[in-house]
Structure 1
Amino acid sequence: MNNPNALASQSFDLAAQQHPHLLRSASYNYPHRCAFKAVDDGDTQTVNQRLSISPLAIWLNLPARRFDTALGRDFLDSLIAEITLRKEAFGRRPVTQLLLRHPFLHYQGADITELMHLLASNFRLNHRDNSPIEYCAELLLEEAEGANLALLKGLGFNEFLLSLPASPSRGDYEKLHAIWQHAREFAADSLGVRLPYGYPEQDLHSMRALLDQILSLKPDRILLTPASELDRWNLQDHIHEHGSNSASQFALIYNALRHAGYRVLGNDCFVIGRDSLAIAQNQNRLRRTAIAYNSVNAADLLGLGPAASSQLGSRYESNLEAIQPYIENLQLHKLAIDKVLQLGTKAKACRVVADQLLCYHRLDIHYIENRYELALASLAENISWEFNAEANMELMRIHNGLLQLSDDGIMRLLFISDTFLAGLLKTPKKD
């Protein structure tokens, strides 16, 4: 049988090699693709989805940057075609979470209205009844005009997320404050900002100034996003060149927001105490998909648009990223799926571990051992001892089969989770 002490040490070393800077945003990293296996046929999954009536999250992923030429009607028609093709498998499920990114970067209000009408015609959108929903539109500052906010509110969106530039100008600050005043007038259930960090042009002084501006607005949510995610840089090159600066910025932001009274989901999603996500976390009903947390019981995510990801039970799909191949597939009435991956038994356990650590900063060792028949207790004890000894502080403690992270441990959540998952994939079955 494998030695749990050796497993813990190997896992610690592997995670350290992959993430030499411990202080990094954690929510974008799971589940690990190394735990997946490719599948060729989705007929069984399609039947299962068609029969399901559980809540669903939908992600409408429009490109987040401008191109030399406008996307035009072909792209919009392709997105509409994808919506229509997905109706058979998912049309009966109530859509409790809806995520729309950068709607006005490429299209006008009439186009977005048409798109939402088609979505409502093919899926069970819940914005017309009293069911809890989280319909969030993410906007760049240049998109967030009063008329656009009013249109989105009329289309059923009850949450707005403003995506900030890495180095805002004085004009950006003035625009942000004006937008915020407009958005508050629409009585959105949640108003938040996406804060990028880790860019070469950012330093601690400019980050402090940006944080002061953000906190003066009193946002309901603040989402931290590393530059490597926003710009799809090579992660290892980014860490090698800018890692220490990124880690310092992350520590500064984390401590400032915690000091300001924000609760934290994962270690990069900060919410005020009365926010629906904070309430769900406190009531042990917080959910997490591949791209977002939610309080509306949506465990499955359907991604629409180029590069969109879907998380459907134990099956993961990703759409083609390039615009033209995406359009060409949909013009032939074919889904533009690039990759299909399936979770194995240990990978399912990995996802539960990641979800518990990110959502609640704790790990129910007994539950995972019994549910997946894995010898996790020894691994957890040794990882806990090794981390606490290495950091010379208490990052986590175990009591009565429950592992709980300290605030210092939450800051290092990515490294801790990576170590657990790497070890879990090698953990033997219980005797």
Structure 2
Amino acid sequence: MTQAAFTWDQDLIDRYDLSGPRYTSYPTAPQFHNLISEQDIHQALARSDASQRPLSIYCHIPFCDTVCYYCACNKIITANKARAVPYLERLFREMRQMAERIDVSRPVDQLHWGGGTPTYLSLEQMTALMQHTRSLFNLHNDDSGEYALEIHPASVTPATIKGLRALGFNRLSMGIQDFDARVQKAVNRFNSVEEVTALTRAARDVDYHSISMDLIYGLPHQSVQSVSSTLDQVLALAPDRLSLFNYAHMPHLFKVQKQLDERALPAAAEKLDMLHMAIDRLTREGYVYIGMDHFARPDDELARAQAAGQLHRNFQGYATHGHCDLLAFGVSAISQIDNLYLQNHKAIEDYDAALDAGASPVAKGFLMSQDDELRKAVIMALICQFELDFARIEQQFGIQFNDYFGAALAALQPMQADGLLSLTDRRIRVKPAGRLLIRRICMAFDAYIPANTEQRFSRII
């Protein structure tokens, strides 16, 4: 796919900016249920082994020293670092359980630690976790895998950055959110420009392949001017990737958000102005607009994967290794093994109790039907590549696209009339005005949306 110009159309945004899934999976997590059987898991593992697909490993570290008031992650707030010790022991136990059930000779092409705050762990604990992972699974030793972790800049030193590189990590994601002191105080998240600059220099000194920085717009006291100032400071550091997330204020779902002063939240119109400014600024600075809230330099692996038609989405967002089966470990972690999603218990008490009893910590999941896999392929092509070739889907799934998706194609007609996309009898191409609204376009192919009318999703923009 060639990089299309981005078009901001306020009238279309006003018309189509509804609530909808982020499509980090299809079907999405609200469809998961507790009826997954041991036989379902056994058969999915057998199909995975037979495929000989490479593996991706995710480890969830739920702990944070302090709470960020905007956070919607599964986390445990504690300054008691001793709590990590029994958690890691159970995490090792869960990994051993899986290693005994799957062909571990397959290479691990992707590794990711998320949270919470993975760097809540000491370097010694992180070393033990990586060593344990290497002892069980076939990690690359030549720096060819994509091995990443998320860091809170205020909790990490340049020496730690270098120590993590020695462990095999070659990509960092820094959660900056905002550099404005007033905003940081309002959300209880602090990291200075000086701290981030020192970490960035340390990462470049030891040749990390990619440095990603995360920002959030829509936080208390933010304005177009303040977000622009933060962007100035971030762009001076020239990250390889940049994410610009929309803050979704949902205190009815995430109680910690009640600590924010709602009166200080920017109005919806001003949030859109922030986003418009940021996209325009980043694209003028040479970043490729990957989609939704992701940007990357043209030579970054993420942009190259999109250009080659190989981009993918998973529970960490846009990714480059869609060919892998995902093994996820830790509280709330979600695996995808062949056509089966598995999610661990969200409450650490339940996660602990299952492993202490010698059982699997899986709480629920979803076994995809052929229709689910077909719709997933369609949605992933659209959200990753912004175009869809019907012939490829027909060949892969043995269908007549126009017959199978007649209702969905009819639902796209008004979007075509509004200039979001072009639709022929053989192809869908998302136009520049539709790129920001890609989630709304994908919803036309989602079989579960009618049943999700009461499901509360974040707004598309």
Same fold, judged at TM 0.5 (above):
yes
- Unmatched tracts of structure 2, length 5 or more: 1-12, 66-76, 183-190, 452-461
Q: Name the count of aligned residue pairs.
A: 402
Q: 2:36 aligns with which of 31, 39, 49?
A: 39
Deviation of 1:404 after TM superposition, in Å, equals 0.8
Give the whole-Å Cα distance in 1 for the aligned partners of 2:118 and 2:371: 42
Quote the residue 1:111 is aligned against.
Answer: 125
How big is each residue's C-alpha offset from its partner over 1:123-167, in whole Å with a ceiling of 9 and x where there is no partner? 0101x136x311011101123311111111000011111011345
Say if 2:423 is the partner of 1:411: no
Question: Does the aligned pair in 2 maintain the 1:23–1:411 contact within 8 Å?
Answer: no
How big is each residue's C-alpha offset from its partner over 1:316-356, in whole Å with a ceiling of 9 and x where there is no partner? 11111222221222222222111121112222122111210
Deviation of 1:300 after TM superposition, in Å, equals 2.0
Say if 2:212 is the partner of 1:184: no
Please show how residues 21-420 of structure 1 align to structure 2 within 5 Å.
Answer: 21-22=17-18, 26=22, 28=24, 30-33=26-29, 38-41=35-38, 42-63=41-62, 65-66=64-65, 67-68=77-78, 69-70=80-81, 71-90=83-102, 91-101=104-114, 105-126=119-140, 128-129=141-142, 132-166=144-178, 168-169=180-181, 172-228=192-248, 233=254, 244-296=269-321, 298-369=323-394, 371=397, 373=399, 375-376=403-404, 378-379=406-407, 381-389=409-417, 391=418, 394-399=419-424, 401-420=426-445
SS in 2 for 1:281: helix
Q: 1:418 to 1:243 in 2, by over 3 A?
A: farther
SS in 2 for 1:160: strand
Deviation of 1:366 after TM superposition, in Å, equals 3.4
SS in 2 for 1:414: helix
SS in 2 for 1:351: helix
Quote the residue 1:13 is aligned against.
Answer: none
Question: Does the aligned pair in 2 maintain the 1:94–1:124 contact within 8 Å?
Answer: yes
SS in 1 for 2:154: coil
Deviation of 1:224 after TM superposition, in Å, equals 2.9
Instruction: Report the AA paired with residue 142 of structure 1.
Output: A
SS in 2 for 1:274: coil
SS in 1 for 2:277: helix
Deviation of 1:30 after TM superposition, in Å, equals 4.2
Deviation of 1:76 after TM superposition, in Å, equals 1.2
Give the whole-Å Cα distance in 1 for the aligned partners of 2:198 and 2:413: 50
Give the whole-Å Cα distance in 2 for the aligned partners of 1:94 and 1:230: 40
Question: Does the aligned pair in 1 maintain the 2:388–2:428 contact within 8 Å?
Answer: yes
Give the whole-Å Cα distance in 2 for the aligned partners of 1:167 and 1:28: 28
Give the whole-Å Cα distance in 2 for the aligned partners of 1:309 and 1:225: 21
Give the whole-Å Cα distance in 2 for the aligned partners of 1:411 and 1:254: 10
Give the whole-Å Cα distance in 2 for the aligned partners of 1:24 and 1:167: 29
Q: 1:409 to 1:376 in 2, by over 3 A?
A: farther
Instruction: Report the AA paired with residue 393 of structure 2.
Output: I
Deviation of 1:294 after TM superposition, in Å, equals 3.3
Question: Does the aligned pair in 1 maintain the 2:174–2:212 contact within 8 Å?
Answer: yes
Identify the range of structure 1 (20-29 vs 155-164) with the bigger mean alpha-carbon deviation: 20-29
Q: What root-mean-square deviation, in Å, do the aligned CA atoms of Structure 1 and Structure 2 show?
A: 3.3
Deviation of 1:400 after TM superposition, in Å, equals 5.8
Give the whole-Å Cα distance in 2 for the aligned partners of 1:163 and 1:332: 36
Deviation of 1:309 after TM superposition, in Å, equals 1.0
Give the whole-Å Cα distance in 1 for the aligned partners of 2:128 and 2:30: 40
Give the whole-Å Cα distance in 2 for the aligned partners of 1:164 and 1:215: 13
Q: 1:376 to 1:425 in 2, by over 3 A?
A: farther
Quote the residue 1:8 is aligned against.
Answer: none
Deviation of 1:380 after TM superposition, in Å, equals 5.5
Deviation of 1:305 after TM superposition, in Å, equals 0.9
Give the whole-Å Cα distance in 2 for the aligned partners of 1:147 and 1:26: 36
Identify the range of structure 1 (132-141 vs 322-331) with the bigger mean alpha-carbon deviation: 322-331
Instruction: Report the AA paired with residue 36 of structure 2.
Output: V
Give the whole-Å Cα distance in 2 for the aligned partners of 1:263 and 1:155: 30
Normalised by the length of structure 1, the TM-score is 0.82
Instruction: Report the AA paired with residue 56 of structure 1.
Output: L
Q: 1:399 to 1:314 in 2, by over 3 A?
A: same
- Runs of 4+ residues deviating >6 angstroms: 34-37, 229-232, 423-426
Deviation of 1:382 after TM superposition, in Å, equals 3.2
Give the whole-Å Cα distance in 2 for the aligned partners of 1:372 and 1:246: 44
